[in-house]
Structure 1
């Protein structure tokens, strides 16, 4: 995998190649009532150090879009290349490697294992990769420190606040050093103050480390911090219409 140091944009250098390139991607589901088009000819590029927000109403296809872009699902048509892997044509072994090393996931519901401590939850991806125990410990400690939870490493999810649990989820998503991060409504279950803290953390991590991120959200504050905002409507991806006046920032 290409290291982040070699792909991050530098002044005077040629623009970095996209970490994610989707071209005319569609996803159609067969149902008893007939085919349902969840995603229709979506085209998107995401570059290192870029935070892209996708907005859209419930049922507009946001989760389907993330699943296809991240390799959790395959497109019905079109191409998706993520960190050099063509999701549409790659074999299952290549997709497993992509999910383990090429992408990280942050979920609205946190997705933590209740019986494990914060450190053990963050460690899970490294155990799956067979990383040496000493290196595992060092990387887990570093990530927990970066998300402000060094003092909570031994606490289980039930002993943490919602915001702290989401920070654990972010640390877990990044511990294997993926170049691309996906987050599905990461502030959706948090109050406005905690949500803003998580938003600040995501922005700092993306812009500070060169990770590329695609985030779905309804949060106008997060949209305001994004490098780009795209809107998904009935499975079609595009730029939201510009608004003027006091409602311009409302989503």
Structure 2
């Protein structure tokens, strides 16, 4: 389904695609963006010459919006996510999260932002092998100094939300790939971030499990009002997205 015809708003059978797009854009404009990137570029110098990984990218993300980022390998998706999450610095342009220009933040301030406002979901899960699923999910709250009683309530809630309550005391090696990714999603949302960045979250999963994870991500984003950008090749995730952005050679070529 194309981004022109997919979205959270209801529409009547007589609506044209143009009318639905206009309604969606009015709804988006009424809500302040969580993330704004303006003319963002990243160039890597090499002995053979400069490599342009991201070129002049402008975009915004708003609460409750699931945006898919598509493009072939090497198109710049991971680099763009790293720039938007403050893991890398742009060669030019700006990225602002909740109005804060990431370039104005030192490393400790960026770390604090990643603990409170934005979260990542990785293709490789990124779990700590010696910790149980519950303990992995607790990590962001422990880093924030969340009181134990509140921590327990929030961890219980997100483990239940992702369907992992019966597996709370199992370690990653005792879980399937899909279950491990569910732990990763629970860990990402337990601190109630406003922005979620996901890099090929279904890349290591079979198609059936991947579909379950995509459905879970869409449900979490819309139910919790997150702004989410998901880099993916998966056509089913593209169908679930409210908008689809496409990168080619580091540039956004359509929306």
After superposition, residues 95-244 of structure 1 pair within 5 angstroms as: 95-239=110-254
Mean Cα displacement is larger for which, 47-56 or 81-90? 81-90
Please give the per-residue CA displacement for 1:5-24, whole angstroms capped at 9, x wherever unaligned. xxxx9x99971100000000
Contact 1:85–1:98, Cα closer than 8 Å, also in 2: no
2:70 to 44, 55, 64: 55
CA–CA separation in structure 1 for the residues paired with 2:96 and 2:56: 15
Contact 1:24–1:42, Cα closer than 8 Å, also in 2: yes
Tell me the residue number matched to 2:9.
none
Alpha-carbon RMSD: 1.7
Tell me the residue number matched to 2:5.
none
2:102 to 65, 82, 87: 87
> Do the aligned partners of residues 31 and 119 (structure 1) sit closer, same or farther apart at CA in structure 2, a change above 3 Å counting?
same
CA–CA separation in structure 2 for the residues paired with 1:43 and 1:12: 20
Q: 1:230 is paired with a residue of what secondary structure?
A: strand
Mean Cα displacement is larger for which, 92-101 or 135-144? 92-101
Q: Structure 2: which 5+ runs fail to align? A: 1-23
Tell me the residue number matched to 1:245.
none
CA–CA separation in structure 2 for the residues paired with 1:180 and 1:13: 16
Contact 1:85–1:94, Cα closer than 8 Å, also in 2: no
Q: Which runs of 4+ in 1 moved over 4 A?
A: 11-14
Q: Structure 1: which 5+ runs fail to align? A: 1-8, 241-251
* Cα shift at 1:32: 2.5
> Do the aligned partners of residues 31 and 13 (structure 1) sit closer, same or farther apart at CA in structure 2, a change above 3 Å counting?
closer
* Cα shift at 1:134: 1.4
Tell me the residue number matched to 1:248.
none
Aligned residues: 231
Contact 1:19–1:48, Cα closer than 8 Å, also in 2: yes
* Cα shift at 1:102: 1.1
* Cα shift at 1:31: 2.0
Q: 1:109 is paired with a residue of what secondary structure?
A: coil
CA–CA separation in structure 1 for the residues paired with 2:142 and 2:199: 24
